[in-house]
A and B are shown apart, each in its own frame.
Chain A
Amino acid sequence: MDIIDSDRERKIISECKAGQSEAFSQMYDLYVKKIYKFIFYKTFHTQTAEDLTSEVFYKALKNIDKFDFKYKFSTWIYKIAQNAITDYFRTYKKTINIDDVWDLADDADLEKQVDDKINFNKIKKHLNQLTAIQRDIIIMRLWQDLSFDEISEITGKSAENCRVIFSRSISSLRLKILLIVLLLLNISINI
């Protein structure tokens, strides 16, 4: 994993603030794919993921001199990404607050627009039942293969808290998608 220690991060960001493009491109290299995936998993749409990724880094670039060192850079940039996603979906449906594509998983119209429809359809009804933060943590842990320390930075929650949320989400999925097959093959399931 490309984690850099906070001292080095501080140094690089200081250089960014000082207008050194090389420093910014280091941060870019470090985060662009993570941010892209983060967005893709919340939009399931290649073009949107590219558009929003561009948006996030333009915003980050323009606001880097306002970056406050009391935050982690990752927390900051993921927050920008989440805001961009929320804004994006706001143009889609004005009435409700939408955190990601899973909130819209039942929207027949949106459904047409997703890429990798098969996987989307396979998983949506499960993810759709979780809260946004539960989904975020499950996706970051299982799809992005991030550690809880990294997830903690991104979500701004403690690593312990993330672990608890993850564990409970998996456990609640277990109950919700309680398979007849599983019941057959296995054992008692106490609802």
Chain B
Amino acid sequence: MKNIDNILQEIYKIDSSLKSKEAELKKIINFILESKPDVEINQEFINDLKNKLIGQFKPKPLGWFNAFNYKLAGSLIAIIVIAAAANLLISQFYQGNPLPEGKIIVKNQDGSVIIKTDDGGIMTKESAGGKIIAGFVKFSSEAEYKKYLENSEQNYYYGVGGGGEMAIDAMDMERTKTMALPDSAQNIAPAADRVSQTNVQVQGIDEPDILKTDGKEIYFSSSENRYYIEPMPMIDVETKSIMPPDYNQPKTHLIKAYPAQDLSQDSIIDKTGNLLLSDNILIVFEQRNIYGYDVSDPKKPSKKWTVELDEKNTLVQARLYGDKIYLITSTQASRYNPCVVPLFKAEGQQIAVACQDIYHPTMALATNINYHIATIDPGSGAMKKGVSFLGSYDSTIYMSKENIYVAYSYQGDYIKLMYELCKENSDLIPATVTDKIAKLLTYDISASSKQREYEVIFQDYLNSLSNDEQLKVQNEMQNRSADFFKERKRDLLKTDIVKINIKDFVINAMGTVPGQLLNQFSMDEYDGYLRLATTVGNGWFGFGSSIDQENDIYVLDKNLSLAGSIKGLGLDEKIYSARFIEDKGYLVTFRQTDPFYVLDLSNPAKPQMKGELKIPGYSAYLHPISKDRILGIGKEDSKVKVSLFDVADVSNPKEAAKYILDEYWSDILNTHHAFLLDSQHQVFFMPGSRGGYVFSYQGDKLSLKKAVSDISAKRALFINDYLYIVGDDKIVVLDENTWEQVNKLEIEN
């Protein structure tokens, strides 16, 4: 490629000695070029912004307009039906040596041995006394923790992660209970029969969002106004610094919502962020603080408690289930950090976990993040016991009514792969070399030391060859390794799943699947089984030869051992959305067209891909609207698209209806919380950049029932037959029977 050659020449001009490394440099440059993100600049956005800017020049931009041509992607529609055979490969997904009964022996760094079994998780040989119990390994000392992390830092590129279980007794924190406040007169409003909830993954488990309602009051956190109209900030050209703009300070609004004619702002809380509502307590998740406000008198919200996250502690996710708020936070694991990891400050009381109390994986690892799980009692702010364990980045959190699943991905074991590659090519790599690598695998040393040893072994071998032989080995191995890594794409990047029981905070299982998850919808628990959708083939080894991505479905049993799988969906495509509903799964992969897959998961040991539909564009969010209908929201030709999938015949999914909205963005593409379904009226709401939209899906047709312009729409909710479209600037109330606007309220910031 000419471009690469130019770049190489530029590099050589600076350092001619690099010429000898040309092959490597090429690979690096290629890799960076290949990793270039697909930037789709929306022409409409560009034009709109230009219009707005020109509008700043003169009151009316006369005669200035750019016609905008949408590029139509020429894609074909094909319907394919295949049934994939089930694969039962349990042990290969676990590190360590498989035993005949599916047990796996894992050797600890301290030489002790634990046994993983299919009926109880993990036990230590010493402590188990013949009984299988769950548990990982605690650090014995601060020194061990630091030593472990030192290795882990060097092992940045490979290794396995893991998890552990603990009960942080130190985190037990019962605060003085505040007495429940008497009901105020405000609450005598008529009660509503029908009240919408935030669109969440699991019914009954609430997820923090910017909008909550209890049927009487709307709680809404507005976002800051990023657009500068007047006055503009000044720029100091000398220092090239821009003075901070006068942002509209975002706030949380308490708005009397029902009856609709009484729509009015009750009060403002000068905190903003995602919200949860538990009885009379409004929980505000700010950057570093979590606040609990008593809102039983919405005119006078009063702060009851504050939980402050330590500056190094980051909120990963939160859920509200039953009478508890579940917090999943993470801290960077570093051997330079103090060995007591501070987590929270609550009313002056410091909550921390000693590093000896953090569980660590039992194997060589790439762990670099401590995950912490804790609960808050919404009424008092009291924090309860949690669990801490070491894991890796790229976490995805899913919570069912019984378990929290923390999943994170990491790179596979490369030395092992290289060993297998050498073994397969015994005509090129002599057994003496392969044996040395095999022996290396058994050494109880850190992965980085193994890497260095490996390099020495290989270098010695190459040096022993003549130049001609070297050339041959290099060329042959290059070709063969490309094929090898294509076959082993499932060993390159893996995802560990740690399953934590929410009753007692015991980690009762840990499992591993190939590939990487997209988001929380990539996981789902049903009937004791965990179903996962992963994309494989991306990762470090994509570097040298390009490996096509493909997508897999895994079904894991209650111990997170493999029950069944479907592999190789959507070659060269990646997952854009997934949704598991009872014994079915729906998957959208995308590169150019949008294959919509219907998965039959009724037999966990034999999941099947039942139907496939290829249509243009993609769906980024899937929502079931009835037993046989799935709504897909995504994009086609850079416009927002809604698809209604008919999945009544699983082997023959159809796109019953499609609607292309003249919008290039909807917040649903970013968060499922922006979506609202009202099945009674057979409508759903979508925010767009130019307003809010209400669609009807009645009679298998998608029609735009109502568009509300002139609102920076964010979310919607319904109370009885009133639909409230909530924007940063105002709330508009529609009567769902007539779709007339019945009220509106400007939100003052």
A residues near B (Cβ < 8 Å) are: 19-21, 24-25, 28-29, 32-33, 36-37, 40-41, 44, 46-47, 49-55, 57-59, 61-63, 66-68, 71, 76, 79-80, 83-84, 87, 91-95, 106-109, 111-113, 115-123, 125-126, 138, 141-143, 145, 148, 163-164, 166-168, 170-171, 173-174, 177, 179-189
Contact = CB atoms under 8 A, between A and B. Distances in A.
Nearest to B452: A191
B418 A180 contact: yes
B227 A143 contact: no
Contacts of A24: 53-54, 57
Contacts of B542: 122
A170 to B, nearest CB: 6
A80 B314 contact: no
B232 A63 contact: yes
19 contacts: A33-B46, A54-B49, A59-B228, A67-B237, A76-B237, A79-B240, A92-B287, A121-B538, A125-B157, A142-B32, A145-B3, A167-B11, A167-B13, A171-B11, A171-B15, A171-B18, A177-B28, A184-B418, A185-B23
Interface stretch (B190-198, B454-462, B497-505): B454-462
A95 B312 CA distance: 9
Contact of B538 (A32, A51, A122, A189): A122
B477 A185 contact: yes
A19 B54 CA distance: 10
Interface in B50-70: 50, 52-54, 56-58, 61, 64
A174 B25 contact: yes
A179 B543 contact: yes
A167 B477 contact: no
Top 10 A-B pairs ranked by shortest CB distance?
A62-B232, A21-B57, A167-B14, A123-B35, A116-B37, A63-B235, A108-B395, A167-B11, A58-B228, A68-B237
A182 B27 contact: yes
Given A119-B35, A164-B14, A174 B232 contact: no
B240 A108 contact: no
B544 interface: yes
Contacts of A123: 31-32, 35
Contacts of B52: 54
Given A24-B54, A123-B31, 5 more contacts: A19-B57, A54-B49, A108-B314, A182-B24, A184-B477
A107 B18 contact: no
A132 B61 CA distance: 40
Interface in B432-476: 451, 454-455, 458-459, 462, 474
Contact of B50 (A28, A66, A106, A148): A28
A67 to B, nearest CB: 7
B375 interface: no
A37 B541 contact: no
Contacts of B395: 108, 111
B39 A37 contact: yes
Contact of B7 (A61, A67, A141): A141
Judged by DSSP, the binding face of B is mixed
B518 interface: yes
B26 to A, nearest CB: 10
Interface in B242-257: 242, 244
**B interface bracket (residues with beta carbon within 8 Å of A):** 35 or more
Interface of B: 3, 7, 10-11, 13-15, 18, 21, 23-25, 27-29, 31-33, 35-42, 45-46, 49-50, 52-54, 56-58, 61, 64, 156-157, 224, 226-229, 232-235, 237, 240-242, 244, 287-288, 311, 314-316, 330, 332, 368-369, 393-396, 408-409, 414-415, 418, 421, 451, 454-455, 458-459, 462, 474, 477-478, 481, 485, 516, 518-519, 535, 538-544, 549, 574, 665, 670
Contacts of A184: 418, 421, 458, 477, 481
A123 to B, nearest CB: 4
Given A117-B518, A121-B394, A167-B15, A186 B24 contact: yes
B393 A111 contact: yes
A112 B39 contact: no
A46 B53 CA distance: 20
B27 A143 contact: no
B458 A58 contact: no
B37 A41 contact: yes
A122 B61 CA distance: 44
A164 B244 CA distance: 34
B396 to A, nearest CB: 8
Contacts of A119: 35-38
Contacts of A71: 237
B46 A54 contact: no
A170 B409 CA distance: 26
A40 B37 contact: yes
Contacts of B539: 122
Contacts of B18: 167, 171
A163 B459 CA distance: 32
A47 B670 contact: yes
Contacts of A80: 235, 242
B10 A148 contact: yes
A87 B52 CA distance: 23
Given A123-B32, A174-B28, A83 B237 contact: no
Nearest to A50: B45
A147 to B, nearest CB: 10
Given A106-B332, A170-B28, A185-B474, A66 B393 contact: no
Given A24-B53, A185-B474, A142 B13 contact: no
B418 to A, nearest CB: 6
Contacts of A163: 10, 13-14
